[in-house]
Structures are given as C-alpha cells and as structure tokens.
Amino acid sequence: MRFSRIQVCRVMSTTGMVPVFYHSKFEVAFEVLKACYEGGVRAFEFTNRGDFAHETFGELNKQAAKDCPDMILGIGSVIDAATAALYMQLGANFVVGPLLNPEIFKVCNRRQVAYIPGCGTATEIGYAQELGAEIVKIFPAGNIGGPSFVKNIKAPMPWTNIMATGGVEPSEENLTAWFKAGVCCVGMGSNLFPADVIAAENWSEIARKCRETLSIIAQVKQKQTNH
C-alpha cells in the first residue's frame, strides 16, 4: 500500500505516536503490528536491526496491506542510501534514521518518500529542512536536552515539526512534557513493548497500552489547543 508524503506526515502529527519495533520472527512482528493497529496506531516503524530484517519487512508489508489496510509502515535505523532504496523497493512509506545522511534524501526525494533523519543540533535540523525534511527526529531525545531542547528549538524555528525518539515514556507526565514543549509526535519502542509482554505473547496488552497512550496524547493535544 502506497501513501503520499503528505499523508504520512499528517497521520504522524494527527495520532502523535509512531511505535518503533523489531523482531527477527515475522509471526511475532506481525502480531505486534496487528495489536498496535487494533490499539489505534496508524504509523508503525519497523527497525532495520538484524540479519534478513528486509525479508521480514517485505512479508510484514504484504500482510499489513491485507489485514491492516490503513497502517502506514515505514523503516527505521537506516543510515545509508542503499538500505533506504532496498526498503522503498519493499514498500516502505517512510524512512527514519538515527543520523542525517544527505544521500538518503536524494533517493527518498526522488521517490517522494518521507525521510525523517535523526538530528541533535539546530544546525542539523536546519540542514535537514533545507534538504526537504517535513519532520525531523531528535535523537536520542532524552539525552540531548529533553523537552527543553524542543522548546528552545521551536522558539527561533517555530515551523519545525519534531518527532522525539529515545527517552519517551507512555505516561501522562512524560507525554505532557514533550507535547507541551512542541513536538508533533513521539517515537516509542521498549517502553511500549516490554520484553516480558512480548515473551508472554500478550498481544491484547500491547493493544491496550497503545490505546491508552494515544488517548493520553489526544487529551494533551486537546488541552494545548484550548490554551
């Protein structure tokens, strides 16, 4: 299923959360994806973390098109253009990385696929925007200054759409701090998918956690709008 760059960015900003997950087994990855979908998630980042991850991703995308048709599936942990191209060929609707690589912008822009690079300074964020980024990822968000970093970036660069990944927790207090600071969405991995829950194959718990987290985000965003 193909989604436009505009659709991808709109869904990320509207829902406010992108789960970040990797598992070598397709069956586990798909159960997690499906549980997230049932929990209201509509943009999901599978990470390029292990051998043959691209094969798992390809299968995941085919199955998601049938069972989770509104899910926008993207790839994360991409650091070079060749890897980005490989995953776009397998249907990735967005590409996320821990760093900024101008070569990835070239292959993504050519195919009109959103590239969300990892940035840690105002200069990197500005450079990413110059190269065409609609959303930039600050990473690792908790280590480069947390919500105050976001607030201080948004002051001189209010047009910046920021996704915070790394150090984000599914609690009302933590999410309120990030959204109040001005993020458009957050990326969340291990805090959303505790190892014991995955090991127990408790998929309904993942769906519940996603539902609860999205609900908190919606309430926080509503408060911001009212102010």
Give Cβ neighbours of residue 186 (< 8 Å, ≥ 6 apart): 16, 17, 18, 163, 164, 165, 168, 175, 178, 217
Q: What is the pLDDT of residue 223?
A: 86
Q: What is the pLDDT of residue 149?
A: 98
Say how many C-beta atoms besides its own lie within 10 A of residue 24's C-beta: 13
Q: What is the pLDDT of residue 61?
A: 96
Q: How confident is residue 81, by pLDDT bands cut at 50, 70 and 90?
A: very high
- Nearest Cα neighbor of 185 from 107, 116, 127, 120 is 116
pTM: 0.97
**Which residue ranges make up each domain of the chain?**
5-118+185-220
d(Cα 192, Cα 19) in Å, to the nearest integer? Answer: 7
Task: Report the chain's mean pLDDT, rounded to a whole number.
Answer: 96
Q: Over the Cα atoms of the chain, what is R_g?
A: 16
78-89 average pLDDT score: 98
d(Cα 191, Cα 117) in Å, to the nearest integer? Answer: 22
37-46 average pLDDT score: 98
Percentage of the chain exceeding pLDDT 70 = 100
Q: Give the fold, CATH level 3, of 5-118+185-220.
A: TIM Barrel (3.20.20)
Give Cβ neighbours of residue 209 (< 8 Å, ≥ 6 apart): 39, 170, 192
Q: How confident is residue 225, by pLDDT bands cut at 50, 70 and 90?
A: confident
Q: What is the pLDDT of residue 79?
A: 98
Beta bridge partners of 43: 72
Q: Please report which helix (H) or strand (E) contains residue 65, including its range.
A: helix 53-67
At 32, phi and psi to the nearest 5?
A: -65, -45
pLDDT in tens, 2-23: 899 999 999 999 999 999 999 9
Percentage of the chain exceeding pLDDT 90 = 97
d(Cα 104, Cα 178) in Å, to the nearest integer? Answer: 28
